[in-house]
Amino acid sequence: METHPPKRHLRALISVFDKEASAPLVEALHQLDIALLSTGGTHHFIRSMGIPVQSIESVTGYPSILGGRVKTLHPAIFGGILGRTTHKEDLRDMNDHDIDPIDIVVVDLYPFDQTVKAGASHSEIIEQIDVGGISLIRAAAKNFEHVLVVPGSAYFREVVDLLNKNQGKTTIRDRRSMAAAAMHVSSHYDTAIFNYLNDGTLNVFKESIDKATTLRYGENPHQQGCFYGGSTEVFEQLSGKAISYNNLLDIDAAMGLIAEFPAPTFAIIKHTNACGIASRENIEDAWELALAGDPVSAFGGVLITNTTVDSVVAKKINDLFFEVLMAPSYEDESIDLLKSKKNRILLKTKSFLMPDVRFRSILNGVLWQTSDHKNSIPELWKIQTKKKPGKDEEKDLVFANSVVKHLKSNAIAIVKDLMLLGAGSGQTSRVDALQQAVKKAREGGHDLKGAVMASDAFFPFSDSVEIAHNAGITAVIQPGGSVRDADSINYCNSAGMTMVFTGNRHFKH
């Protein structure tokens, strides 16, 4: 069903990966009497719709070659897109070479990013690098004063509405807007390819996120805020108000913390720090002990667990005012109860691996680092004291080190029986952090005798272990590395305490 449109019929070139998604747009173009020009697979699809369409090959005089790698790269195509119909010189060249203008360019690129995420082979990924499509997009965007570019299936519906509303006509403002969208698609696509191909040889920072959620405000009401990313890949919101900037910070902290614990665990987060966390065989006990860690700070916090919230624990949680509750699943009865307060945010977490890299803006640039996924493994510890940790102490030391890793520095975590008794975080000295943790534990009525302590960094003096010993703490886990490590080790030996070095610092700023 090949046709050759008259010279100044409006013409649209269509080359799309997602052909089904293009059907409404193809139909709209046809109804508006816009002549269609298309490539191989898309050409066959449009013909199957019973709509007249001209093939690229009939324009270029060349077939698709190299397994489809070269189809549209030809002056007859790019001259038609880049030709400025208001420039006499361009019109003369186009007339001399029998090039007809192309007024609309519709492209949907090969799914490179999705192919990488799907774990495809290297050769399959390379074949998903779109050359012709990206060239069409950039050419049409450059000549937006004369050409409308539609750079992906996400824009098809919008363009259908636009064309139908204006009988196929567009304004310079419309075309410039779509050109900006096209360059976004192009840059996002190129960034994904670069990050796949770059083996670290080129030390540059390139990230592109094409999903955005405008937030009510930023960290404070007078600040603007936006989240760039796909939160639906991480959780499903079951109820509650719109998630805020600060909620997202706490959610991120909670997700990172809970990932450390394989046993049923409940944690309470406040301003990105854990104020309560406990592991137990059943979630009810874990919740009660997490709350007992610091019930005052738990008010208005973010709650997270790694197991199902049943109706029994839901009734207990419901008595507390909190901002967010996160769990992988909920019993139906528990959801109904917890939804009773309309602003309360309930999230169903999905299977999700925390990112391998972290970055933040500072000064006039960006800081980049790999994530702190280093875990505490007893087999790799270096026991520094005469007294070795007992079996229960060892479990508590692992637990405490996993908690302190997620507290803001300087940080101390005091743990007993897989429960956080007290935490000191964000302090300007390690002694202050320890004193804060001891104070918190005592205010909660907890017996520190036999408790263990974790520090995110080394002790420069023996004063901290002395304070810990006087409080009843019997075992300490820390990175080690101070020139005065011997002072702390000697004190522990004289006091009958245990001290182990992990060799891994966990600063968090």
Catalytic residues: 142, 271
In the 8-state DSSP scheme, what is residue 343?
A: T
- Do β-strands 212-214 and 54-55 pair in parallel, antiparallel, or remain unpaired? unpaired
Tokens of 446: 């907890």
Let me know: does 457 contact 507? Beta carbons within 8 Å.
yes
3-state DSSP of 227-293: EECCHHHCEEEEECCCCCHHHHHHHHHHHHHHCCCCCCEEEEEECCEEEEEEECCCHHHHHHHHHHH
What string of DSSP letters covers 388-427?
PP-HHHHHHHHHHHHHHTTSPSS-EEEESSSBEEEEE-S-
Of 59, 60, 147, 134, the closest CA to residue 102 belongs to: 147
Which tokens hold the place of 462? 């023996």
Q: In this structure, are residues 268 and 303 in contact, taking their beta carbons and an 8 Å threshold?
A: yes
> Which pairs count as long-range contacts for 31-36, CB under 8 Å and 24+ apart, including other chains?
32/163, 32/164, 32/167, 32/168, 33/9, 33/168, 34/9, 34/10, 34/103, 34/104, 34/168, 35/3, 35/5, 35/9, 35/10, 35/11, 36/11, 36/12
